[in-house]
Amino acid sequence: MAIIFGGKKRNGQRGHTRPRPLTISLDQPGWLYTSDLLGIFRVSHSTFDKGVKSGRFPPPDGRDGRRPIWKTETIKAFLDSPRVQKKPQRFRGDSAPETEAEREAELEMVNERIASLCARRDFLMRCDRPNAMQEAA
């Protein structure tokens, strides 16, 4: 399938690299392309490019023509570095509860919020349809 953009014929390309599954172990020496890293980091092409420019992802170790390439050792070291270790996300910057009592208090607070939202939903449903309560009775 040939696609013509601006007078140039491009065979099947859509403009961005698509992620592909990793076919080589990171323990073996070798080279990785952008498509390999998109599959590892699970980000889009645009996010990956911005991350390389900002320093969030490692810079390429070389180029294969116009395509950037990374050594498997570089990516393995990057993944093993402590700054990559992901922490579970918390809302509003809260820290995770450390004791059982804190966990119980947080769970109770969440349950109260859910009950409050359910009560509000029921109230709004009655206000939107005032005759529905009479019909049900």
Compute the mean pLDDT over every residue in the chain, rounded to the nearest whole number.
76
Give the model's confidence band at 39: pLDDT under 50 very low, under 70 low, under 90 confident, else very high: confident
- Opening angle at CA 67, ends 71 and 51, nearest 5: 70
Q: What digits encode the pLDDT tens for the residues 71-122?
A: 999 999 988 887 665 544 455 555 666 788 888 888 888 888 888 877 777 7
The confidence score (pLDDT) of residue 14 equals 57
pTM over 0.85: no
Contacts of residue 97, Cβ cutoff 8 Å, sequence gap at least 6? 103, 105, 106
